[in-house]
Structure 1
Amino acid sequence: MGLPDGSGDLLSEMDGDAFRRLFPLQFYESHFVKSTRPDGRSLTEARETSSALGAVASADGSALVKIGSTTMLAAIKMEVMTPPTESPDEGCIAIDFHMPPICSPTVRPGRPADAAPVVSKQLSDTILRQVNCHSGMVNLKELSLISGKAAWMAYLDIYCLDADGALFDAALLSAVAAFSHLQIPVVSMNDEGKVVVMSEEQGGKEAVNNGKRKLTLSSIPFSLTCILHKKYILADPTAEEESIMETLVTVVLDSSGQLVSLYKPGGPVLAYTSVIQDCVALTRQRARELQAILDEAISGMEVD
């Protein structure tokens, strides 16, 4: 909907909420010219972010992550499996992303959210990527127990509790946090010769692995989603911002600052590489912030 001439006078005379509802794009642009946003952030400022490890007591690894109002709960359950013949010395990771109706008014009961399979695929590609023969964040060989006979299957489930924009960024951070918290259980051989998770009552049995252990995480990925609108770049958009402005770019960098992926689902073709370079620079800064948040959460768990 176009804004009539004399929009400045109209804005001053019209109630702010009414103007926002009737002319949402123009409402936002009236803030952009002042290098700010309606929620008080600068254009390139991300929302307040927090990470709490161990949010699910029954899981082997878990985390609750919030970016603004966007909230993700990630949980990992480990199960012993027979490894595939093509990779007898590797375990597996299965990733599912869930968007229950409670997360957003746009998600209807009985109907899967359109974004869920897209985010799930992005997460799998990012966490399990193979680039130039280097492993992704998790080395699947670390999930092997007995070559060709037993390995770990890690089931990672991420539940979106509040979908207020930048879903992939929050989901990826929750996955990284859950794997950082993960403790691989102790297993033993039962009377039938099968590898099973040891219970506390089986303390006398010989363990196949040496106590609970943590995974070695490398090339940890961090991401930042930006909206590109005219000459403006908006970092970490809310759901309202995403619904009004269509050009989204998500940059994923690893912990060494190397580009992992760049995802652009829609909007016009980008004509200037400088815009992408600006987004990468913002992501590099954001990655340092997220690493510090994750380190603080891990340190807090170790103290406890």
Structure 2
Amino acid sequence: MGSQILDQLKKDKILELIKTGKRIDGRALDEQRPIVIETGVIPKANGSSRVKLGNTEVITGVKIQPDKPFPDLGDKGILICTAEILPLADPTVEPGPPNEEVIELARVVDRGIRETEMIDLHQLVLIEDKSVIGMFIDSSVIDSGGNLFDACSYASVAGILSCTVPKYEIKDDAPVLVEGVTSKPPIKTLPVSVTMAKIGDYVLVDPTKEEEACMDARITITTNSEGNICAVQKGGNDGFSPEQLVQCSEMALAVGRKIRKQFEQLM
């Protein structure tokens, strides 16, 4: 009972501040938390990164290896994103198979990278319909402070930008690793996802865990380097008005330009 009263008091305080254009951490409604991006944090991985978005922290590793293409995509390499929230990241998380929220998290990250066509998957083909290069991007949330969608997306993009692609030669219809020869991945664009929460009649960029507990709806918009909206994911029980959707789109573009400059420094 005591914790419920405390939670309600916290929600009331958040709503009271939002009405004045402020937030509990002092940010403006359209202001994202500070972002710290490190690369090369997993020495044995082909690429890796650690991203801190406020109190949220994610580590991502990229593994690259030959694989068989998907049956209907023999002219493209493989791209698969996965995600997990470690039990130490959040007291409410329990070990076991991923729940719906974690599955959605991985799919949103995957869709943002895939739909923006960040990587030219055609260049990852060794033998069409037979052998391709697969990129497997695994993100682990080690501290859950809100907005896991963006934190995992940024970590995945940074991990890809930091990775090296081994060279393979085909001998007897099988890929053989060429020792000591690598290249950068075929990057076409830099995707940036921006998540916004709707609380009452207000829209907030990059919600914290406390703000997520109060939100009526959320939306994640991913844009490419050309400023095109390529992927959208909506959650929550409430909806967004047309005016709010325009506002969210403008926020996603504005914040996306700032984050993209950080990514460009990794290239």
Normalised by the length of structure 2, the TM-score is: 0.90
Correspondent of 1:41 among 14, 27, 35: 27
- 3-state secondary structure, aligned to 1:164: coil
Are the structure 2 counterparts of residues 21 and 82 from structure 1 closer, same or farther at C-alpha, using a change threshold of 3 Å?
closer
Larger radius of gyration: 1
When residues 22 and 243 of structure 1 are mapped into structure 2, their CA distance, relative to the original with a 3 A threshold, is: closer
Taking a change above 3 Å as real, the CA distance of residues 108 and 88 of structure 1, as seen in their structure-2 partners, is closer
1:226 is aligned to 2:207: no
Write the letter of the residue equivalent to 1:264. K
Superposition map of 1:75-86 within 5 A: 75-84=61-70, 86=72
The runs of 5 or more residues in structure 2 that have no matched partner are none
SS where residue 109 of structure 1 aligns? Answer: coil
- Counterparts of residues 32-71 of structure 1 (less than 5 Å): 32-71=18-57
After TM superposition, what 4+ stretches of structure 1 lie above 4 angstroms from structure 2? 17-20
Give, in angstroms, the shift of residue 243 of structure 1. 1.1
Per the alignment, residue 98 of structure 2 pairs with 112
Count of aligned pairs: 266
Distance 1:66 1:143 in 2: 30
Partner of 1:7: none
Which letter maps to 2:38?
A
Q: Distance in 2 between matches of 1:221 and 1:189?
A: 32
* Contact preservation (8 Å) 2:126, 2:170: no
- What is the rounded CA distance, in whole Å, between the counterparts of 1:165 and 1:106 in structure 2? 13
What are the superposed Cα offsets for residues 48-91 of structure 1, whole Å, 9 maximum, x if unpaired? 00111212111111111111111111111111123345443321
CA-based RMSD: 2.4
Structure with the largest fraction of strand: 2
Q: Tell me what 1:94 maps to.
A: 80
Q: Which runs of 5+ in 1 are unaligned?
A: 2-16, 130-134, 201-210, 299-304
Select which of 205, 208, 219 maps to 1:249.
219
Q: Which moved more, 1:276-285 or 1:87-96?
A: 87-96
Pick the aligned partner of 1:145 from 102, 126, 129: 126
Checking the alignment, whether the CA contact within 8 Å between 1:226 and 1:236 is kept in structure 2 is yes
* Deviation digits for residues 144-164 of structure 1 (CA, Å, limit 9, x no counterpart): 123344311111111111121
Map of 1:12 onto structure 2? none
Given residue 216 of structure 1, which amino acid in structure 2 is its aligned partner? P
